[in-house]
Structure 1
């Protein structure tokens, strides 16, 4: 298939800007990119109708299990801090998920990601009442929709001994059955250090094979550091290092309350840091120190807040800008998104993804974007931050998934017709859990 009559924007790729050009796809890969009109042959052609073409976007950290949370009733009492937010909202929600709700959450989250141009998802899943088989369900749904996926189940002591063991086993099963599957990248999921004992971290380390990485929230809130210090460690990151849990395949998410000195420790370990600014702002936990973010191995995620990575880059830019003095340079959030996330995903999957270039995964997003001002290689950043909305067409894994805003595999309305009653059922189950335990332990 040839996608033609498009402007190609890939700021950190081999060819950053082609004002008018075309892309050839074969199988699930891009095989050619060029300027001008397409070859005059009998190949299937998709007329981009002067769209702006970007690489498929990558979400470096999200929680698809929270896809039915939008608009849910708030807890009966205000949450004064982050541990209370977890205890009164998210640890109620994940406990309320059964296998059916897990499945519809994956479907909604993956489809909503595609609708916002996201073709690769690095997920961090939790459903304590439906652990076994949950990652198989995620992989199956991602393959149905053409989304490249990294799968991990959050291990935590809060599940109890049996739940802890089941979560370790679920991650181990995913490694053992999916590691060689194209466009699936298993990781060992850990919730956060402050919900894992010393013995639990030792057990997790034993369960990992050489080279396998972890995916963990780290220093999102000061409580993580307090627990680390009780073990004699200077920070949550140092605690993970002491247990031998970090390597070049590991993802450390947030890092809001890591000391600046941990930047060199991250570099030495090879681990990746994933920044989630909208979630940090929403939870009022603070801002990740710039020395940790101005490094080579840093990506951008949404932490389940929403599916739009361009929106995440815009929010991050504005939130951090609000605290900077006049004339001070801001963090380049679009570099995190379009360069950092591509390098991160390419590393995890062992296959090129995230650029409009030969050999890369066939992920192309077309925006019906006709700006009132010039767009080019010198001013693209402002256009991406403040211009395009949802894409018109999304090609993932070499196949058209969204065309003219509609999901080509099925009617979008049919999925939403299932998700709305499912959301009501989830919210009722959450209310029932609150009634049984109105003040859950955090």
Structure 2
């Protein structure tokens, strides 16, 4: 039994409440109880106790769309790279990197990213991977890194026709093999999906092959209408918009995650709603790639399940939350926009997405939920309550305030020290690995 107490505890979940001098009890990998520190210490007198020292005790955060391999773009300089549009960014940066990623690059980028997640209080990651330099075994390499660091994760490989039929088939097989592997895993810590790049790099034949190799309970993870290139391609080749095309190819549904959805219209939003398809918003990426602002506020008002991701830009979910808040206020010229919608994405949408894949409840401190718990050193300078905690989160909190991270009942970081991981050694090896990859890219 593990107790984490002596802090301001926010439960989140359907019955969100603040418990002053709160405490959470974890029995194995599930939460047994929440209450005051005094109450739970009396109830579990022999339990290990972690002192929050007056900080915040919160549910672990979820990142609903990440690109772990993008870690190796940090600081890179690619000869001749001078993008003029989104397609130039994809081909000149991201596809260039993934074509040069070997298995050890994939493993080390995952190890470093999961470490950064732990340090930012992120306990669950949905990742969308690509490494066309070496496809077979890549999802398993990421899963090994997730197991080593203890992070809960849902993985897929990005199927695309962009590098030819043989690599496309290898990508489909990697997804299918990994999904089968995850079905045998009983830990509830690793899940698999069929990853798809985007409509404009996927033929109908490829979509059919993916569908044939995807069990009904696995689902798809795909980028949708991130740039107008995707929309124009679908209209020109198939005479229909992207969401309509995916619907006709039986890709949408309650187990499908659609990333971005920037250039979608009302009819497409209706289809997403009727098929119960999930959407993930990635604000920093959308702004950084200059591809536009999605109608995320409208999607939420229409009742879609919408989550928040980082698209590889950061592992700090609060940073992504702050960016989304500013983006939608600016885009709509409305200072009242996004106050409730953005917190919904992170604290309700992401747990709802997690619930479609993981057995234990995520994103809440309540009996029976996963023992994914974080402690931060945030000490409010104004009164804090369950009603105004989102304002404190938006303007006062950051991922780097995380002091302790517990995932699945295991302490992965305590007092800002990683448990069982030599971070300096990992980062040193990662720098060596990244340097080799960069050299391969610029030797082309």
TM-score by length of 1: 0.95
Contact (CA 8 Å) 1:2, 1:25: kept in 2 or not? yes
Residue of 111, 114, 118 corresponding to 1:114: 118
| 2:338 pairs with 1:330 | yes
- Match runs of 1:26-37 below 5 Å: 26-37=27-38
Which position in structure 2 is the counterpart of 1:376?
385
Contact (CA 8 Å) 2:81, 2:93: kept in 1 or not? no
- Match runs of 1:68-217 below 5 Å: 68-181=72-185, 182-217=188-223
1:250-307 CA-partner distances (Å, limit 9, x unpaired): 1000000111221110011111001101100000000111322433411000001110
1:359-384 CA-partner distances (Å, limit 9, x unpaired): 11111111111122111122211210
Residue of 406, 416, 426 corresponding to 1:415: 426
Aligned length: 433
Which position in structure 2 is the counterpart of 1:358?
367
* Deviation, structure 1 residue 209: 2.5
Tell me the distance in 1 between the aligned counterparts of 2:83 and 2:26: 50
Tell me the distance in 1 between the aligned counterparts of 2:238 and 2:202: 15
Across the aligned residues of Structure 1 and Structure 2, the Cα RMSD in angstroms comes to: 1.5
- 3-state SS of paired residue (1:152): strand
Relative distance call for 1:122 and 1:327 in structure 2 (3 A) is closer
Tell me the distance in 1 between the aligned counterparts of 2:238 and 2:173: 29
- Match runs of 1:246-325 below 5 Å: 246-289=252-295, 290-294=297-301, 295-325=303-333
| 2:442 pairs with 1:431 | yes
Contact (CA 8 Å) 2:12, 2:364: kept in 1 or not? no
Tell me the distance in 1 between the aligned counterparts of 2:184 and 2:392: 39
* Deviation, structure 1 residue 48: 1.2
Between 1:408-417 and 1:59-68, the stretch displaced more is: 408-417
TM-score by length of 2: 0.94
- 3-state SS of paired residue (1:280): helix
* Deviation, structure 1 residue 75: 5.0
Contact (CA 8 Å) 1:10, 1:356: kept in 2 or not? yes
- 3-state SS of paired residue (1:96): coil
Which position in structure 2 is the counterpart of 1:349?
358
Tell me the distance in 1 between the aligned counterparts of 2:220 and 2:342: 24
Contact (CA 8 Å) 1:277, 1:316: kept in 2 or not? yes
- Match runs of 1:15-94 below 5 Å: 15-37=16-38, 38-40=40-42, 41-94=45-98
Tell me the distance in 2 between the aligned counterparts of 1:321 and 1:91: 32
Which position in structure 2 is the counterpart of 1:439?
none
Tell me the distance in 2 between the aligned counterparts of 1:52 and 1:407: 19
Tell me the distance in 1 between the aligned counterparts of 2:164 and 2:81: 26
1:135-189 CA-partner distances (Å, limit 9, x unpaired): 1112222122111110100000012111011100000001111124222221000
Tell me the distance in 2 between the aligned counterparts of 1:170 and 1:74: 28
Tell me the distance in 1 between the aligned counterparts of 2:266 and 2:434: 41
Which position in structure 1 is the counterpart of 2:396?
387
- 3-state SS of paired residue (2:83): coil
Tell me the distance in 2 between the aligned counterparts of 1:341 and 1:326: 25
Contact (CA 8 Å) 1:260, 1:292: kept in 2 or not? no
Contact (CA 8 Å) 1:255, 1:288: kept in 2 or not? yes
Unpaired runs of 5+ in structure 1?
A: 434-442
Relative distance call for 1:360 and 1:325 in structure 2 (3 A) is same
Tell me the distance in 2 between the aligned counterparts of 1:379 and 1:292: 24
Contact (CA 8 Å) 2:195, 2:221: kept in 1 or not? yes
Contact (CA 8 Å) 1:218, 1:252: kept in 2 or not? yes
Tell me the distance in 1 between the aligned counterparts of 2:393 and 2:20: 16
Between 1:355-364 and 1:27-36, the stretch displaced more is: 27-36
Tell me the distance in 2 between the aligned counterparts of 1:188 and 1:327: 39
Contact (CA 8 Å) 1:62, 1:123: kept in 2 or not? yes
Contact (CA 8 Å) 1:279, 1:303: kept in 2 or not? yes
Residue of 219, 230, 240 corresponding to 1:234: 240
